[in-house]
Amino acid sequence: MPPRRPASTTIRVLAPTAPRRRPSPAEAADPVDSLAPTPSVPPAAGSVAPPAVVSAPAVVPPPAVVAAPGGGAVPAAAPTPASAPIPAPVPSAPPLRRPSAGPIPVAGSAPLASSRSGGLHPLSDGARNAALHAYDARVKAAFDRIVPVLQKISALQHESDFINQAQAVAEAELGYSLPLPILERAWVTQLDMRTLFAWCVFETYEQTSAAFYEQDPLGACPGSPATEEFDAFLLSCGFHLLDVTPCADGRLAHAIAFALRLPYSSVRRRPHAGALFDVENTVNRWVKTEHSRYREGRPNPAHADTRYLKVVLYHFSSRDPAHEGCAAHGSDDAAAAACGLQRLNDFQEAVENSFCCGASVDLLLLGIDTDTDALRVHVPGLDGTTRLDRWLDAEEVYQATRDLSAQEAWQRLEAIVQEAAASTPDPGMVQLIARLMANNFSQIDYVRQYHQDCHYADAGHAERFIGVGIGFKEIHLRNLTYFAYMDTVEEGAADLDVGVKIFRGLNVSRGLPVPVVVRFDYHGKVPGARERAIRHAQRVQAAIEERYRELYSQGLLHALLTVRDQDRHVPAEAVGSTISFATEGGH
């Protein structure tokens, strides 16, 4: 059987009990022949070529259009017959530099006029865009009000009725009261603005977490119609779990719910700096998934012919590629993609070498432009091959299909994805990628609707706090949180150091502290799990205080400790903080 991916220059002996899970193209001729595109020579990386129809036999009726989660029309998934027109691949264009953006529209403002004629893409969901924008603006406005309100309160600290005035301002503009011990000491010393700022950030985070679980603003909680529909679709594509590792950069925190438009409950998300996930930990999560299939038949029985799909999502900048790309890779797009693919291959090889009975996983490499949210998809072939020099650019596919009807656009999109595959296309992977691309068209329109010049004004970092630990299922907004996924500070030091470096520029340079939310989820059904999670958080807090002793001693770093029962749909619970208030004592 031919190898599933290109041979490495280093020969490694694979375990004889780990055969490839899927057949080679030659062995799978029957199901694939109907999807095989006309052979063509792949373009050079970065070359620009408009999509062209290679052949145009008799037209086959387009697939029916079905309702998409959250509204909008997405044609029903169905393989494109061989008789359908097959466009040539749409390669990526060279990075572009665009002029500086103007201000972001405030919450409740009307969408900006589209920069192109004809309105939204036929596969876009304008109503969903409006709902997502309202949620994003509401949450970020709550964090961004903190500094102006504290500036206003600072100007009042020498008034005779300072405490009452300060609380009135806070309740009216922030929605909560401020801690009295800080306000009561203002007449003796200057108002402790650093502690007050951190306290407000933590209070706002707690309110955001509570609202997420209580109101389900994304409409994607476990058991929701959107979640059930996507889970069924994923299984129909031949995958029983979607495990995505985006970069920990806050500009990708919205990747699942916004850029890919996927129900968060259907996706296992583990952000890491540079999207460089831990192979051993990921193998352990694969084992748990397969064990659940074997013991519980969840999400499907172990004998079902489906695969675990691991995805890496790296990022780049079209406006300033040399400075605003991935910091973990020195803003080198090629290095980010190559390292992501290497980590994926290492994970696949670890599974195949360690387990028998055809154990394997499927891989998908994605990129995203943090200025426009347009996807870059390295479409793999049926044999698992992924090419770094060949990808689909969502912006170009968007342009190639924007003037068609929804049904025609879907057919054209499927054909383009098939043609872009690194080898003979996999029908299930084609269906999934076509859906991801169609979803991303909505996000491209979202950026064009609500941000001037078709890109984000905040091209760089603008996170509001650092999230450390394991969890944060409720964070799905761009530039809200920098993630540092870890069990211990020692193993996650590189990720955390990057986050602290970012906040030295964002906050410390202005005299404001670095707000860190430590989070560990636990299984409430396991005796003592909550107490162990709390102790875990306390150890991480102590390690953070020690590692960044200079910042902590100056009041320029504060932490909030939280835990959450992941067996229930409940908000995070605050269990400690570096902010403490002395209690009144006696003799």
pLDDT averaged per 10 residues in sequence order, the chain, 587 residues: 41 34 43 34 36 33 40 42 36 36 33 54 97 97 97 93 96 96 88 96 97 96 96 97 95 96 96 92 95 94 94 95 91 96 96 84 97 97 96 97 96 97 97 98 96 83 93 94 88 88 95 97 96 96 96 97 95 95 59
- Angle (nearest 5°) at CA 196 between 193 and 197: 85
Distance, in Å, from the CA atom of 500 to the CA atom of 478, rounded to the nearest integer, reads: 18
| Beta-carbon contacts of residue 49 (< 8 Å; ≥ 6 apart) | 43, 88, 89, 90, 91
Catalytic residues: 249
Q: Counting runs of H as helices and runs of E as strands, what totals does the chain give?
A: 15, 13
Q: Quick one: pLDDT at residue 581? A: 81
Q: Can you list the positions of beta strands (E) in 121-277?
A: 239-246, 267-269
Distance, in Å, from the CA atom of 446 to the CA atom of 47, rounded to the nearest integer, reads: 27
DSSP string for 248-286: S-GGGTTIIIIIS---GGGEEE--BGGG---HHHHHHHH
Question: What is the H or E stretch that residue 519 is in?
Answer: strand 514-522
Q: Quick one: pLDDT at residue 8? A: 39
Strand partners, 468: 484, 518
Distance, in Å, from the CA atom of 163 to the CA atom of 180, rounded to the nearest integer, reads: 8
pTM value?
0.79
In three-state secondary structure terms, 574 is strand
Q: Quick one: pLDDT at residue 67? A: 42
Homologous superfamily of 141-217+461-577: Carboxysome Shell Carbonic Anhydrase, C-terminal domain (3.30.1330.140)
Mark out the alpha helices in 29-99 (DSSP H runs).
29-33
Distance of CA 305 to the CA centre of its chain: 28
**Residues 364/309, Cβ–Cβ less than 8 Å:** yes
Distance, in Å, from the CA atom of 476 to the CA atom of 454, rounded to the nearest integer, reads: 21
Residue ranges matching CATH 3.30.1330.140 in the chain = 141-217+461-577
**Residues 148/193, Cβ–Cβ less than 8 Å:** no
Distance, in Å, from the CA atom of 518 to the CA atom of 533, rounded to the nearest integer, reads: 11
Strand order in the sheet with 239-246: 267-269, 239-246, 307-316, 362-369, 375-378, 392-393
